[in-house]
Amino acid sequence: MTSEPMTDEPMTDEHWSQGLTLVTGGTGKTGRRVVDRLVHANRRVRIGSRSAEQPFDWERRETWAPVLDGVTAAYIAYQPDLSVPWALETLDAFFAQAIEGGVKKLVLLSVRGEVGAQQVEQCLQATGVDWTILRSSWFYQNFSESFLLDSILAGQVALPVESVPEPFIDVDDIADVAFAALSDPVHSHQIYEITGSKAFTFAEAIGEIAQATGREIQFSSISAEDYLLKLVRYGVPNDDIKLLLYLFATVLDGRNAAPSDGVERAIGQLPRDFSDYVRKTSATGVWNV
């Protein structure tokens, strides 16, 4: 997917935003929204995806060079997660190849309070390239686009988490900050903690969705062992199970409960409100059975 360039002016190092921008995970929650904003701004965009015309796969390094060809800036949303053991080695190699190929700007979607993610951040900072890091909290859209949607439709959400608040964030806020970082050098070498304005628990979030839909949706806190058995019954791959259990045991242990001002600091506006997200999403019927 490519749109026409904004200008015929020759590219220079200072004008990386006028070149070709790669969006990895370009069909995912944040990636497709970043793509939309870039295209709307008449920017040239290349989608990095296994299903793209020119496939991109983190696990197949031979796919990297063709996708990086001609790219001057990139948004990096690594799958499955920055916390997996091989993420650091993979992204270290990707950063090096991207910079060698002429990429001048890298915007990394990171995670708050996670050791593996912090190691990747440090790796990026050590490259000497122009970088911006977005440390995100859990997405609103996990309730409507994947992960928790099936449980909400079934009327029973059970997770291995206690009453720990999380300042959930709308992925549209992440996309807004990412677009800004890919457009303006003022965001160079900035780390933005991207969270909502207030923290609340999973139980409170599910309760608000239930009220908006007029449905009975129960939330229960279960042990990690019971959650593991549940995932196994549903046929979730073992690596995905390990990742989910790790994330629930670490980033949702209270370390990330305090909201941050990253959205306002980056783009001068408050994060989108969860109640507004619930109202608009409920109106689409996605939570109806």
pLDDT exceeds cutoff 60 at 109: yes
Question: 23: buried, middle or exposed (CB in 10 Å: 19+, 13-18, 0-12)?
Answer: buried
Q: Give the per-residue pLDDT at 219.
A: 97
Tokens of 82: 């920055």
Is residue 185's pLDDT more than 80? yes
Question: Per the omega criterion (within 30 degrees of 0), is the bond before 80 cis?
Answer: yes
Mean pLDDT of the chain, nearest integer: 93
Q: Where are the domains of the chain?
A: 13-137+170-195+258-272
What pLDDT, on a 0 to 100 scale, did the predictor assign at position 226? 95
pTM (2 d.p.): 0.92
Look at residue 6 and tell me whether its pLDDT is greater than 50: no
DSSP symbols for 20-54: EEEEETTTSTTHHHHHHHHHHTT-EEEEE-TTSSS
Long-range contacts of 60-64 (CB under 8 A, 24+ apart): 61/93, 61/97, 64/94, 64/97
SS3 label, residue 234: coil
Tens digits of residue pLDDT in 126-168: 999 999 999 999 999 999 998 899 999 999 999 999 899 999 9
Q: Tell me the two tokens of residue 63.
A: 């796919």
pLDDT digit string (tens) for 44-67?
999 999 999 999 999 999 999 999
Domain 13-137+170-195+258-272 has CATH 3.40.50.720: yes
